Amino acid sequence: MSAVLQLSNVVKTYGDLRALDGIDLSLPDDSYVSLLGPSGSGKTTLLRVIAGFEPPEGGTIRFSGKDVTNTPPHERNIGFVFQNFALFPHLSVYDNIAFGLVNRAVDPVTDPKLVDRKVRDMISLVGLTGLEGRATTQISGGQKQRVALARTLVTEPQMVLLDEPLGALDANLRARMRSELRMIRERCGVTFLHVTGSETEALAMGDTVLVLDRARIAQQGDSDTIYNRPCSPAVARFLNCYNLFSGKMADGGFATAQGLLGFQGQPQRAADPAYAIRYDRVDIRPAGAAVTGDEVQIEGTFIASEYTGSAVNAFFSLDDGKVFEVEAHLSHRAPENHEPHRRYALAWKREDALVFA
Amino acid sequence: MNASGIKFGLGVYTTLFLVFLYGPLVVLAILSFQTGPEGGPQFPIIEWSTYWYKHLFGLTPPSRIAPLPIDQGLGRSMLLAMMTMVVSTILGVTAAQAFRRRFTGSGVVFYLIVLGMMVPGVLVGLGMALVANTLGIERHWWGTAFVLHVVYTFPFAFLVMLAIFNRFDSSVEEASWSLGVSPARTFRKITFPLIFPGVLSAMLFAFTLSYDEFSRTLFASGRDLTLPLAIYGTFSVEVHPNVFAFGVLTTLFSFALLSVYAVLMGLSVRRAKRIAVQEEA
């Protein structure tokens, strides 16, 4: 697969703040890429630099074989879907979608029949039929989302940047739009770069997932790799499914405030050492239960649990005050009732632990 | 005091305020219907008549009271106000557009622009007259006075547009660029329609301020008088109710202008709603 977008050593600063600190990345053509990062990690800045709204201080951006680092946004052929949708409030739904086709500087469509056909095709593709004449203030959030997408896709950009496109929608609609976005992308055959702060969204949507941390790309890989083999404690933390212990390597394990924790295999290289165990790989047992040789066990006091339907998340307070989370999938076992303020043993297999050193 | 008491008090206060505001105008309007030509600009009304209105348009038999020398002044003031309105609004919109991004020296430039509405008019007018004399430039209402009117009204237009741009969500412009539309066309098709209500307000400000500008024009306009100067000139002889009649007519004209403004404003605001109503019907 050829690379449609290549960034090398892109730097963007705001005063003393380095919003992008030497970004290198290469995005494949015709794929769905999600960009995950906590707020303040520079993900919106990265999109705005790629779109050309903000000039980078250093580095180059190559898009479909051309250097576009200094090209103005309207000559890049990169679409942008805003978090707040940024629909044109004085135009109807139909005119919003037709706007780019008719008014663009390069190759505007002047034949009204052709415009009409393209706009109507796009309206039916995104499922807005019947709303053509509405004002943008008279449609729901999900419909605005579709207008924003249709307006961009109808101009046939080579790539579409989506800045937290589902952030303004309610949870129900968000889930539905996820699969629709993927479907629409496949039919159009362009690359989507979807920025999100939600780890579930990033993993669910992306053929490729990029993790942005402190103005740098921390990891790039497919969802499975990112989820099961995060390359640094920071990435593991964003994924919101790992208990992390800081500490250092010691003889026969990893030394933490909870004592020596055993693991198998080689630790991964990382700047800040940490020991990570997934929420759903931990077994809750009565305090003082026996441990087999391939297990690690610590103790904690049960605080509370949260029922999410398909799983129960139990929270324990460890001796140093740290909160430890355990996720029990209800398809595997019936929910157990734990007593608050009572001590339990928390055990996991050595081989399930990830160690960064 | 209870809530309804406060409400009543505020109502009384508002009424008094409005009476105070419009009292002088009402007195003027009443006196303009004084009989003529023997009736003077004071109460009581000897007899109700429209004599002074007819007098304005030269429809009365000749008498010792000269007609108001307004026909030329009116034309000049209208044209001057129009010119000022167009130039100040264009300058105001473009300057405010420039101020959307900070640039080197933007703070200084801001205060220099705003200074134009702060400095006393008489001084600026006098200064302009001296400069014109020194440089050998002839003073005209369409030259030196016009420049001063622009200097005076441009800051108003600028501040109005600055407030409009302050609340303007620039992501719609970015959205347009990312659709391949050039910045110039984006301004014309997206930005301008959205700031149009502000542009109307800026135009209204510039027009009305210029139309009745007195102090700056006094020294800078040269031989040919604008309307405010012509009217003031008649006061030095004797005041007749024909001035009041003219005041009433110009007020009506201002109301007409305001109505046009309101209609245009309403149209631009209501366009979106109308589309929605058609859809639901």
B107 vs A337, residue with greater confidence? B107
Please check the confidence at residue B103 and state whether its pLDDT lies above 50: yes
- Give Cβ neighbours of residue A356 (< 8 Å, ≥ 6 apart): A232, A233, A236, A267, A268, A269, A270, A272, A273, A274, A275, A276
Query: What's at A175, amino acid-wise?
Result: A
Q: Which domain holds residue B60?
A: 1-65+240-281
The pLDDT of residue B18: 94
Residue B181 near residue A77, CB atoms below 8 Å: no
CB contacts, 8 Å: A105 with chain B: 180-182, 185
> Searching chain A, which residue's CA lies closest to the CA of residue B183?
A74
In sequence order, what DSSP letters do the residues of A310-335 get, joined into one string? SEEEEEEE-TTS-EEEEEEETTTSPP
Asked if B178's CB is within 8 angstroms of A152's CB, the reply is yes
Residues B87 and B49 in one domain: no
The pLDDT of residue B281: 40
Among A54, A68, A132, A134, the strongest candidate for a mutation testing the B interface, having the largest count of B CBs within 10 A, is A134
Nearest to A335 by CA among A322, A345, A326: A326
Query: What are the extents of the domains in chain A?
Result: 3-228, 241-356
Q: Which two tokens stand for residue A218?
A: 């921390």
Please check the confidence at residue B83 and state whether its pLDDT lies above 90: yes
Q: Which two tokens stand for residue A265?
A: 């295999």
Please check the confidence at residue B152 and state whether its pLDDT lies above 90: yes
Q: Is B273 on the interface with A (CB under 8 A)?
A: yes
If one counts every other C-beta atom within 10 angstroms of the C-beta of residue A40, the result is 13
Global pTM value: 0.80
Residues B19 and B156 in one domain: no
Instruction: Check if A3-228 and A241-356 are the same fold.
Output: no
The pLDDT of residue A164: 87
The pLDDT of residue A201: 85
The pLDDT of residue B189: 92
CB contacts, 8 Å: A53 with chain B: 174, 177
pLDDT bin (cut points 50, 70, 90) of residue B276 is very low
Average pLDDT, chain B: 86
Residue B213 near residue B137, CB atoms below 8 Å: no
Asked if B180's CB is within 8 angstroms of A155's CB, the reply is yes
The pLDDT of residue B274: 53
Q: Is B236 on the interface with A (CB under 8 A)?
A: no
Residues B117 and B208 in one domain: yes
Q: Is the ipTM of this complex over 0.85?
A: no
Residue A52 near residue A72, CB atoms below 8 Å: yes
Q: Which helix (H) or strand (E) holds A253?
A: strand A253-256
Asked if B183's CB is within 8 angstroms of A78's CB, the reply is no
The pLDDT of residue B277: 47
Residues B114 and B158 in one domain: yes
pLDDT bin (cut points 50, 70, 90) of residue B1 is low
Render pLDDT for B119-131 as a digit per residue (tens, 0 to 9): 898 899 999 989 9
The pLDDT of residue A48: 92
CB contacts, 8 Å: A151 with chain B: 175, 179
B62 vs A255, residue with greater confidence? A255
CB contacts, 8 Å: B189 with chain A: 99, 103
Among A78, A88, A155, beta carbon nearest to B172: A88
Asked if A106's CB is within 8 angstroms of B176's CB, the reply is no
Asked if B278's CB is within 8 angstroms of A72's CB, the reply is no
Residues B203 and B114 in one domain: yes
Percent share of chain B, pLDDT over 90: 38
Nearest to B200 by CA among B118, B113, B267: B267
Q: What is the CATH number of domain A3-228?
A: 3.40.50.300
Residues B90 and B39 in one domain: no
Please check the confidence at residue B273 and state whether its pLDDT lies above 80: no
CA–CA min distance A107, chain B (Å):
10
Strand ranges in chain B using DSSP code E only, listed in sequence order: none
Residue A64 near residue A190, CB atoms below 8 Å: no
Average pLDDT, chain A: 87
Q: Is B104 on the interface with A (CB under 8 A)?
A: no
Q: A91 — phi, psi (to 5°)?
A: -115, 150
Question: How far is residue A47 CA from its own chain's centroid?
Answer: 13
Domains in chain B, number? 2
Q: Is A347 helix (H, G, I), strand (E, B) or coil?
A: strand
Residue A19 near residue A13, CB atoms below 8 Å: yes
Q: Is A275 helix (H, G, I), strand (E, B) or coil?
A: strand
Asked if A78's CB is within 8 angstroms of B189's CB, the reply is no
Total CB pairs under 8 A between chain A and B: 96
- Lowest pLDDT segment from A150-159, B9-18, B81-90: A150-159
What CATH number is given to the structural domain containing B89?
Answer: 1.10.3720.10
Hey, which residues does A311 pair with through a beta bridge? A329
Whether the upstream peptide bond of residue A165 has omega within 30° of 0, thus cis, is no
CB contacts, 8 Å: B171 with chain A: 82, 84, 86
Please check the confidence at residue A331 and state whether its pLDDT lies above 80: no
The pLDDT of residue B65: 73
Q: Is A334 helix (H, G, I), strand (E, B) or coil?
A: coil
Residues B75 and B102 in one domain: yes
Q: Is B278 on the interface with A (CB under 8 A)?
A: yes
Residue the block writes with tokens 């630790």: A267
Asked if A135's CB is within 8 angstroms of B272's CB, the reply is yes
Among B178, B183, B194, beta carbon nearest to A89: B194
Residues B96 and B15 in one domain: no
Please check the confidence at residue A333 and state whether its pLDDT lies above 80: no
Please check the confidence at residue B102 and state whether its pLDDT lies above 60: yes
Render pLDDT for B20-53 as a digit per residue (tens, 0 to 9): 999 988 888 888 888 777 777 777 778 788 888 8
Please check the confidence at residue A31 and state whether its pLDDT lies above 60: yes
Hey, which residues does A201 pair with through a beta bridge? none
A117 vs A15, residue with greater confidence? A117
Top mean pLDDT of A78-92, A205-219, A231-245, A285-299 is at A78-92
The pLDDT of residue B147: 92
pLDDT bin (cut points 50, 70, 90) of residue A99 is very high
Q: Is B184 on the interface with A (CB under 8 A)?
A: no
Alpha-carbon distance A211 to B1, whole Å? 62
Report which DSSP code applies to A161: E
pLDDT bin (cut points 50, 70, 90) of residue A304 is confident
The pLDDT of residue A79: 93
Render pLDDT for B163-206 as a digit per residue (tens, 0 to 9): 999 989 889 999 999 999 999 999 999 999 999 989 999 999 89
The pLDDT of residue A97: 93
CA–CA min distance B41, chain A (Å):
52
Residues B161 and B223 in one domain: yes
Residues B91 and B229 in one domain: yes
Q: Is B181 on the interface with A (CB under 8 A)?
A: yes
Among A90, A104, A133, beta carbon nearest to B278: A133
- Lowest pLDDT segment from A48-62, A293-307, B55-69, B132-146: B55-69
Residues B264 and B218 in one domain: no
Nearest to A234 by CA among A244, A224, A225: A244
Residue A250 near residue A284, CB atoms below 8 Å: no
CB contacts, 8 Å: B176 with chain A: 88, 99-100, 103
Q: What is the CATH number of domain A241-356?
A: 2.40.50.140
Q: A355 — phi, psi (to 5°)?
A: -125, 130
CB contacts, 8 Å: A139 with chain B: none
Average pLDDT over residues B66-71: 75
Q: A142 — phi, psi (to 5°)?
A: -65, -35
Q: Is A169 helix (H, G, I), strand (E, B) or coil?
A: coil
> Searching chain B, which residue's CA lies closest to the CA of residue A148?
B175
Q: Is A335 helix (H, G, I), strand (E, B) or coil?
A: coil
Residues B192 and B281 in one domain: no
